């Protein structure tokens, strides 16, 4: 599954896939780090699966 950069992932706070990818590129490469820096996936937990997919995109193949 691939997300467009403008696609909203975290509906509670409005973070897009692009926002999350930028944070991952800055070194926030775990769910806990993303929660701390963006507060993404910190309220309803509904975006957890999508964020985990975005994190896996960054793993070396």
The reply to whether 27 falls in a domain is yes
pTM: 0.88
pLDDT tens, position by position, 11-59: 999 999 999 999 999 999 999 999 898 888 777 888 999 999 999 998 7
Spatial distance between the Cα atoms of 28 and 44, rounded to a whole number of angstroms: 20
> What is the structure's pLDDT at 61?
66
**Angle in degrees, CA 60, 7, 22, rounded to 5:** 45
The reply to whether 3 falls in a domain is no
> What is the structure's pLDDT at 42?
76
58 Cα distance to chain centroid:
11
Q: How many domains does the chain have?
A: 1
The reply to whether 2 falls in a domain is no
Spatial distance between the Cα atoms of 33 and 53, rounded to a whole number of angstroms: 15
The reply to whether 1 falls in a domain is no
> What is the structure's pLDDT at 38?
87
Structural domain including 43 reads 8-57
Which CATH number fits the domain that encloses residue 46?
Answer: 1.10.10.1100
């Amino acid at each position: 599954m691939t997300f467009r950069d403008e696609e909203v992932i975290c509906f509670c706070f409005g973070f897009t896939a692009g926002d999350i990818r930028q944070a991952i590129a800055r070194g926030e490469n775990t769910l806990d780090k993303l929660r701390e820096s963006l507060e993404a996936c910190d309220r309803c937990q509904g975006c957890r699966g999508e964020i985990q997919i975005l994190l896996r995109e960054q793993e070396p193949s």
